[in-house]
Amino acid sequence: MLLRTLYFDGPLSRNELTKVTGLSAATVSSMTGDLLAEQIIVEAGQVDSDGGRPRVLLRVDPSYGYLIGADVAETHVRVELFDLDMTERARVEYALRPARHEPELVARHILAGIDVVLADAGVSAGQVLGVGVGVPGIVGPGPEAVVDAKTFGWDAVPMGALLRSGTQLPLFVDNGAKTMGQAELWFGSGRGAGNAVIVLVGSGVGAAMINDGIAFRGVSSSAGEWGHTKIVAGGRSCRCGGRGCLEAYIGAEAILDRAGVPTGKAGWMEEVSQVLDAGGPVVDETIYYLGVGLGSLINLLNPDRIVIGGWAGLLLGERLLPQIRTAAAENALAQPYAAASIVLGRLGPDAVALGAATLVLEDFLNETPLTSRVTAAG
């Protein structure tokens, strides 16, 4: 936890650490002593004295350990190696042919990728704190990390077990959209917010909710299904079988569909930009419906920040953030709206691997140093 503050609040002197953490100077001194001895943190210059002894700044050593993040996407498996500063040190990508998403193949790619990025960066496996994997679909809790992903034809795939057989490294598996939210929360636009809501608009529509720094997971870890919130009772029909779902208005396919653009053929995603650039009533309506959804979220959850992400969300936000803010204001109560700043995600749609690596980082910052870590995230 001391490590956590040092990590996030940049280089700090021991003295400042006592103020920030509320611990006594004695505790900070001995704890930092241990961390220095273990080489987890290093000294980072001094700060001019203002009359007394100068303060020695401490920071986490970015090369103390490394994190691996994997992004299992529709068209490829990408594996990236990061240092503790989340600077990318190596990456490798394996293309997936359409409809060739066998779990074993994906697992082989990930395992091979781990070896490749380690070799490329000249990092030994012993220095790696763990491997995070972002996959599509729903991930069950526990070390098995059972994955159900309709788009891949995966049904109860024990991704954790598949990978476990090929590596000793600690493993963390979670839904790719959630890892992206995680990345945005820790290193993107959500940084510093205690009550953030990360809104992900892509083909599907989801939300990650943070209350007082703690993620809202729900009883079976499936909280965040924002897309099937009904905003027009009896409205457009949705692929979930219902009518009037938010996703049926602002999901990427829904935008194109309302604009009369077919979504079946390859490359349809490119069309979204064109539709948005063209403007017109379809775009106005999209903003309006997004505002309706955001307004309800603001009322219900009273966040201090809303981060708009997901590839379609970013396309929308880049062009129309002020309009989105206005639409949200018109659909929220004044008091909670005033407390919420609505911002655009900063990491772009490629942050899945970064977010997956963040799962490892989170564990690293939570654990007592030098305890073995062999869990899977739910």
For helices 311-330 and 268-278, give the axis angle rounded to 10 degrees: 40
Q: Is 240 in the site for a second copy (CB under 8 A)?
A: yes
Piece in contact with a second copy (CB under 8 A), picked from 47-55, 108-116, 149-157, 210-218: 210-218
Question: Which residues sit opposite 307 in a β-bridge?
Answer: 198, 343
Residues 335-364, one symbol each (x = binds a second copy by CB under 8 A, - = not), give xx--xx------------------------
- 53 or 97: whose CB is closer to DNA? 53
Residues comprising the chain, all counted: 378
Amino acid at 268: W
Nearest to 207 by CA among 194, 193, 225, 192: 225
> Which among DNA, a second copy, none contacts residue 24 (Cβ within 5 to 8 A by kind)?
DNA
Alpha-carbon distance of 356 to 71, in angstroms, equals 7
The CB-of-169 to DNA minimum distance in angstroms stands at 25
**Strand intervals (E) in 136-224:** 138-139, 146-149, 154-158, 171-175, 196-201, 205-211, 214-215
- Would you state the structure tokens that stand for residue 122, as one six-digit string? 């000249």
Contact of residue 226 among DNA, a second copy, none (CB under 5-8 Å per partner type): a second copy
3-class DSSP state for residue 261?
A: coil
Q: Report how far apart, in Å, the C-alpha atoms of 163 and of each of 44, 111, 167 are.
A: 38, 7, 6
Residue 47 CB, nearest approach to a second copy (Å): 32
Residue 38's CB is within 10 A of a number of other CB atoms, namely 12
Nearer to DNA, 38 or 318 (CB): 38
Least Å distance between CB 237 and a second copy? 13
Candidates 65, 130, 158, 295; binder of a second copy (CB under 8 A) is 295
Nearer to a second copy, 54 or 213 (CB): 213
H or E stretch covering 358: helix 352-366
Q: What DSSP designation does 226 have?
A: -
Pick the binder of a second copy from 55, 191, 217, 346 (CB under 8 A).
Answer: 217
Selection from a second copy, DNA, none that 53 binds (CB < 5 to 8 A by kind) is DNA
Q: Which is nearer to DNA, 53 or 265 (by Cβ)?
A: 53
Q: Which does 288 bind (CB under 5 to 8 A by kind): a second copy, DNA, none?
A: a second copy
Q: Which residues pair with 128 in a beta bridge?
A: 66
138 binds, among a second copy, DNA, none (CB under 5 to 8 A by kind): a second copy
CA–CA–CA angle 142, 143, 147 (5° rounding): 75
The answer to the question of residue 177 lying near a second copy (CB under 8 A) is: no
Smallest separation, CB 14 to DNA (Å): 4
Nearer to DNA (CB atom), residue 51 or residue 260 = 51
Compute the half-sphere exposure of residue 296: CA atoms within 13 Å on the CB side of its CA.
13
CB of 321 to a second copy, least distance (A): 21
In the complex with a second copy, the residue whose CB is nearer, 167 or 326, is 326
Decide: is 175 part of the binding site for a second copy (CB under 8 A): no
The C-alpha torsion from 38 through 40 and 46 to 50, rounded to 10°, is: -90
Assess 142 for contact with a second copy (CB under 8 A): no
Q: 194 is in the binding site of which of DNA, a second copy, none (Cβ under 5 to 8 A by kind)?
A: a second copy
Q: CA nearest 250: which of 227, 274, 277?
A: 227
Helices 14-21 and 25-37: crossing angle in degrees, nearest 10, is 120
Write down the least CB distance from residue 83 to DNA, Å. Answer: 25
- Looking at beta carbons only, is 368 or 372 nearer to DNA? 368
Helix (H) or strand (E) holding 285: helix 281-301
Give the residues lining the site for a second copy (CB under 8 A): 138, 194-195, 207, 209, 211-212, 214, 216-226, 228-233, 235, 240, 242, 288-289, 292, 295-296, 299-304, 330-333, 335-336, 339-340
